[in-house]
Amino acid sequence: MKLSSRGWFALSIIFSLAVIIVIFATTFNQETIGYILSFNLVFLGLAILFRFLALGLWGVRIQVMAGSLGYRVRLPYCVNMVLAGLLAGTITPGQVGNDPVRVHELYRAGVPVGDATAVVIMERLLDGIILTVMGLLIMTLMTDYFLSTFSPALIILVIIAWIFMISFLFIPVLAIKYPVKTKSVILRVVNWIAPRLSRSSAPSQALSERVDHEIDNFFGTLKTFTGTARRGLLVGGIVTGLFWISEFLVASVIMMGLGLHAYVLESFFFQILIAIIMMIPLTPGSSGITEISTSSLYALIIPSGMIGIFVLLWRFVTFYLNIILGALASLSIFKRELEYKEKEKEHEKLV
């Protein structure tokens, strides 16, 4: 049975809430109520501000990278596409729906599909590089702590996460080094998928030609990022680092609101692992999986009775807030798309 977008959205919420309820039920003790009542709401506001800062930096990254290719995209428009992508991410496994939204919105802003796809893929590449560098640096600084604290099972999970991340980083590299073979694989995938998405039994000649053209644009843009547009890649990398720092500080601020130490290095490392796990397409929006991994990791530094409230507050800022902001951004896009279709119909009548 195929699920609609509403069905996937409902599953995402249900998975998340169900796991949080289980976490509360298994960690609740006589101190939990006290933790809840003593939480400082000022820190929740500060955590939300850091989240807003991170989303704003994400928009800046898109603007800078598109600008390095010669396209002028307004910052408010970039931030809006980021927010709309957050909503799409909640209904797709591993949050993969986020990327197509940004590609589509860049296309609407006048960026060719191939170039828009290259921008989004290079964003992911920068994320992978920054997360890998941050993770290795933290592990180097705290090797003794991790070896003495992490169980063998957790160490194996860390190794698997890093293998997944490093494998992901090789994809764009291989695309640049072996463009002909990569293009051949992409075309075969498109020729296999296209008939299954349309009524015709074979992809149209026009579609094949357009895909071929956009793939050429894509590879050309990847080369441009390593050549004349490398400044955009460099600045984009700096902004990416600031983005992840802002994003990761949310958890530390919430812990401070609960009266704990910020545990910045430990928290950053845990969230790098969680970010990698969230990329694995297991559940809609990675809900459920994220809560389980978060509670398991943070249980190493947070009292048992506090785990439930911490996970709830952190997911409110990083997940449930996404739904609210994403819905508002998507409404503006939906309205624009309706106006666009109406103009197309009027143009067809005139022709």
How does pLDDT run across 135-161, given as a tens digit for each residue?
A: 888 888 887 877 777 777 777 777 777
Q: Please name the helix (run of DSSP H) or strand (run of DSSP E) that holds residue 145, with its range, or none.
A: helix 143-149
In a domain, 2, yes or no: no
Which positions ≥6 away from 85 have C-beta within 8 Å?
97, 98, 99, 101, 102, 326
| Separation between Cα atoms, residue 323 and residue 102, nearest integer Å | 16
In a domain, 21, yes or no: no
In a domain, 272, yes or no: yes
In a domain, 24, yes or no: no
Contact 309, 38 (CB under 8 A): no
In a domain, 8, yes or no: no
Which positions ≥6 away from 334 have C-beta within 8 Å?
none
> Which residues are registered as beta bridge partners of 284?
93
pLDDT at 287: 82
**∠ at Cα 49 (43, 54), nearest 5°?**
130
- The total of other beta-carbon atoms located within 10 Å of residue 106's CB is 26
- pLDDT tens, residue order, the chain (351 aa): 455 667 777 888 888 889 999 998 898 888 888 888 889 999 999 999 999 999 999 999 999 999 988 899 999 999 999 999 988 888 776 666 788 899 999 999 999 888 898 888 889 888 988 988 898 888 888 878 777 777 777 777 777 777 776 766 676 666 667 777 777 776 776 666 656 555 554 555 665 666 666 666 667 666 777 677 788 889 999 999 999 999 999 999 999 999 999 999 999 989 988 888 887 767 776 788 889 989 988 998 999 999 999 999 999 999 999 889 998 998 888 888 887 777 766 666 665
| Separation between Cα atoms, residue 39 and residue 128, nearest integer Å | 34
Which amino acid is it at 286?
Answer: S
| Separation between Cα atoms, residue 39 and residue 335, nearest integer Å | 40
pLDDT at 204: 56
In a domain, 298, yes or no: yes
In a domain, 6, yes or no: no
pLDDT at 1: 41
pLDDT at 118: 83
In a domain, 29, yes or no: no
| Separation between Cα atoms, residue 284 and residue 95, nearest integer Å | 7
| Separation between Cα atoms, residue 51 and residue 22, nearest integer Å | 26
| Separation between Cα atoms, residue 220 and residue 235, nearest integer Å | 20
pTM for this predicted structure: 0.83
Name the nearest CA neighbour of 12 among 97, 73, 134, 70: 97
Q: What residues make up the domain containing 334?
A: 35-350
Number of domains in the chain: 1
Contact 48, 317 (CB under 8 A): yes
